[in-house]
Structure 1
Amino acid sequence: MAVATVLVLAVAGGAAGAVVDASSSMAEPVPGTGQSRMDVTKGSLLRALATFTPEDEIGLWEFSTKLDGAKDYRILVPTERLGDQKAGGTQRDRLSAAFNALEPVPHGATGLYDTTLAAYKAATSSYARGKFNALVVLTDGVNQDPGSISRSELLTQLQKLTDPARPVPLIMIAVGPDADRQEAEQIAEATGGSGQSVSNPSQIQSVMLKAIVAAGSRGDD
């Protein structure tokens, strides 16, 4: 069972988005650390956040199942420039606070397919011309919402939304032993993106940033 978060990123010279699994399974301990999957994931995301510039745009969603009415996801921090000031703090400050506040949803399942589609629709509809655009999805499990769209329908919808003239590669990162690397690859490749896997949430930062750089490099070809 997993609750997940969606981290929507727009990096300098580009725009990117990430979906991070934060389900109840994220409360499970990471061997040898004395911390939960969620704690280690938050640390990794905070380190990643520190690498972006004030011009980069980042937002945050979280998902489980039925978090917002019938929706499996909710927007915690709308996507804005990290340097933007509002209510006495910057977007970076708001994201740091939101990351630190993330907690697994008790008994929460993983609404992976509906959330991925919604996040991808949002990423493509807000496409930033002249920049690198991408969406990053992190999950420590597989779809657990029996009422969601099917995997085949998700793939079909992602392919329909994909536009070579407005590329938004999806980078899906499978975290831990319960996630499906092959499924991550299949879903991501439907958009021209890539599937990745990490055995430990502490690896999320490096894998995510390398995948974003690699996707950006392909877009420059």
Structure 2
Amino acid sequence: MRVLIVEDEPYLAEAVRDGLRLEAMAADIAGDGGSALERLTTNSYDLVVLDRDIPGPSGDEVARRIVASGSGIPILMLTAADRIDDKASGFELGADDYLTKPFDLRELVMRLRALNRRRAHLRPPVSEIAGLRPDPFRREVFRDGRYVAPTRKQFAVLEVLVAAEGGVVSAEELPERAWDENADPFTNAVRITVSALRKRLGEPWLIATVPGVGYRIDTGSTLPGGTRE
């Protein structure tokens, strides 16, 4: 899951980002409305945490543009105002949920996961691929009926690979989706995480490396160039 945090208070934004990362969510920060719209144009996000009171285009304007784009990205609005009228106007703009400052990070995480579950119901779920059954809501993985316990980061990587349904995920795209925009695709982090996940899933290896390109779930197809090393 990748989240865009739109918040102009640096300490709060960084605290939320770091907390979401501990929950295996990739998170980027935009400190104003203009930066938020730019990131929404160039990156793919599953959820947006949006402060209403931000510089540049307001949070309300950002919400309007997200809704108008037809992307369907769920919006969780943040505000210091707790009046019913403020919340009502936020929902009218297209917010899917509302959280008043100050808030508990655990509540934010629960609300984001709930929003992601609702959105997932609108998409055809990947029930099984090559005997692999990942449950993104219970954070459980089964392979041919055998329970597998990946780490949070390994699960995030697995989610991206499974969503590709056997297609190749490039070495550049994988860290963007499972880490965040600051991840360096040229470090060993991706290779080490994929290697550890491959071993945890067990033999025969399910994650194939496509040299010079990236990784994919080996579905037994004849896609050229894939290796399991």
TM over 0.5: no
TM-score category (smaller protein): 0.3 to 0.5
TM-score (normalised: structure 2): 0.39
TM-score (normalised: structure 1): 0.40
By percentage of residues, which structure has more strand?
1
The structure showing larger relative contact order (alpha-carbon pairs under 8 Å, at least 6 residues apart) is 1
